[in-house]
Amino acid sequence: MERLPQHIVVERKGDICCVRLRRSRMNEADIMEMADEVIDLINGQGCRKMTLSLGPGQLECLYSVFLAKLVMIRRIMTEAGGALKLCDATPETVGVFEACHLKELFDFVPDQATAVAALHEKSDDWSEPEA
């Protein structure tokens, strides 16, 4: 029997996994478990297109651990040939990424609808090789 995620909510829109955090406040153990749940979507369930909502409010978690896990999730998704869009981030959250020089590593979009639309567009040229 498949265990339901405790830290994320997943809504599927076609082949896109729309992931939202259940809580904006997480301790280190919660962040580790959340990352495992997202990685299971990629490695265990074959998700190759993902939106990850970092809102709607301000995140209240251990930023260094959280950022490290997001970098790892991005790497795993990229290695799997997939795409990750971060959405619903507050200006304060984006500021943390900027301060850590990580903003350029991620693709931020304003909201989930924009992220889904961008991933649909990406699937139109998914099979074209990169130059």
Number of domains in the chain: 1
Q: Whole-angstrom Cα distance, residue 60 to residue 23?
A: 9
Four-residue CA torsion sign, 13, 65, 2, 43: positive
DSSP string across 27-49: -HHHHHHHHHHHHIIIIIT---E
- Asked if residue 130 belongs to a domain, the reply is no
Between the CA of residue 42 and those of 45, 83, 92, 126, what are the distances in Å?
6, 10, 28, 17
pLDDT confidence bin for 57, thresholds 50/70/90:
confident
pLDDT single digits (tens) 8-29: 999 999 999 999 999 999 999 9
CATH of the domain at 106: 3.30.750.24
- Asked if residue 71 belongs to a domain, the reply is yes
- Asked if residue 97 belongs to a domain, the reply is yes
- Asked if residue 2 belongs to a domain, the reply is no
- Asked if residue 3 belongs to a domain, the reply is no
pLDDT single digits (tens) 60-116: 876 799 999 999 999 999 999 999 999 999 999 999 999 999 999 999 999 999 999
- Asked if residue 62 belongs to a domain, the reply is yes
Parent domain of 13: 8-123
Predicted TM-score (pTM) of this structure = 0.88
- Asked if residue 129 belongs to a domain, the reply is no
Q: Whole-angstrom Cα distance, residue 10 to residue 79?
A: 21
- Asked if residue 128 belongs to a domain, the reply is no
Four-residue CA torsion sign, 78, 106, 127, 46: positive
